[in-house]
C-alpha cells in the first residue's frame, strides 16, 4: 500500500490481490523496439496470436455480421496473415488480429458488405501501409485484392 500524494484520506491506497492490471503492447510497432527490452525485464509477457480459425470467434462474429460474412472474414484474414507471416520483411509479429472485426451490434444483412469494406479501407489498408511503407505498392495491392474480392 502507498500513501497518495493528493489524497484527502489518512488511509493508504492499495490494489486488492484479486485485481490484475493487464497492459497491451503491439510489438510490431517499430518505435517500441528500444523500450521493449526494459519492459520485458520487468513484466511477464504472453504472446496472443490471431485466432481467426477459432470456431468460437467465428460463431461470435456470425451472431453480429452473419455466418456468411464471418466465414468471409475468417477466410480472407487467414490468407492475408499467411502472406504477412511468409513475407521476409514482416513475419509473424505483423499478423493482423481479430479486434478490427469484434463488434457488439448486429449489422443488417444489407449493410454488412459496406461495413466490411469500411473496416478494410479505414483500418486494415492504413495498417498495411504503415508496415510496408511506400516501397512495395504491389504487395499492398495484392493483399487488398484478396480482401476486397468476392
pLDDT above 90 for 134: no
pLDDT at 35: 64
Q: Within 13 A of 53's CA, how many CA atoms are on the CB side?
A: 6
133 pLDDT tier (thresholds 50, 70, 90): confident
pLDDT at 23: 75
Domain count, the chain: 1
**Interacting residues of 70 by C-beta distance below 8 A, sequence separation 6+:** 58, 59, 61, 62
pLDDT per position as a tens digit, 53-89: 999 999 999 999 999 999 999 999 999 999 999 998 8
Residue 76: give the domain boundaries: 50-148
When mean pLDDT is compared across 27-36, 83-92, 130-139, the lowest value belongs to 27-36
Do 37 and 78 contact (CB within 8 A), yes or no?
no
**Interacting residues of 128 by C-beta distance below 8 A, sequence separation 6+:** 140, 143, 144
Task: Tell me if 93 is assigned to some domain.
Answer: yes
**Interacting residues of 57 by C-beta distance below 8 A, sequence separation 6+:** 51, 74, 98
Task: Tell me if 138 is assigned to some domain.
Answer: yes
pLDDT above 80 for 32: no
Task: Tell me if 21 is assigned to some domain.
Answer: no
Task: Tell me if 125 is assigned to some domain.
Answer: yes
Task: Tell me if 82 is assigned to some domain.
Answer: yes
Task: Tell me if 127 is assigned to some domain.
Answer: yes
Residue 99 CA to residue 76 CA, distance in Å, equals 15
pLDDT at 33: 59
Q: Which three cell numbers stand for residue 103?
A: 463488434
On average, the pLDDT of the chain sits at 87
34 pLDDT tier (thresholds 50, 70, 90): low
Task: Tell me if 23 is assigned to some domain.
Answer: no
Task: Tell me if 76 is assigned to some domain.
Answer: yes
pLDDT per position as a tens digit, 108-124: 989 999 999 999 999 99
Amino acid at each position: 500500500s502507498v500513501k497518495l500524494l493528493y489524497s484527502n484520506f489518512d488511509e493508504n491506497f492499495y490494489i486488492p490481490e484479486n485485481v490484475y492490471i493487464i497492459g497491451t503492447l503491439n510489438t510490431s510497432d517499430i518505435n517500441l523496439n528500444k523500450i521493449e527490452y526494459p519492459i520485458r525485464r520487468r513484466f511477464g509477457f504472453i504472446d496472443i496470436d490471431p485466432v481467426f480459425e477459432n470456431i468460437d470467434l467465428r460463431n461470435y462474429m456470425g451472431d453480429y455480421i452473419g455466418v456468411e460474412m464471418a466465414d468471409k472474414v475468417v477466410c480472407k484474414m487467414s490468407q492475408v496473415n499467411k502472406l504477412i507471416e511468409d513475407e521476409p520483411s514482416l513475419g509473424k509479429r505483423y499478423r493482423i488480429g481479430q479486434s478490427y472485426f469484434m463488434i457488439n451490434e448486429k449489422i443488417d444483412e444489407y449493410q454488412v458488405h459496406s461495413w466490411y469494406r469500411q473496416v478494410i479501407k479505414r483500418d486494415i489498408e492504413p495498417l498495411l501501409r504503415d508496415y510496408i511503407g511506400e516501397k512495395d505498392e504491389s504487395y499492398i495491392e495484392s493483399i487488398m485484392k484478396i480482401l476486397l474480392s468476392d
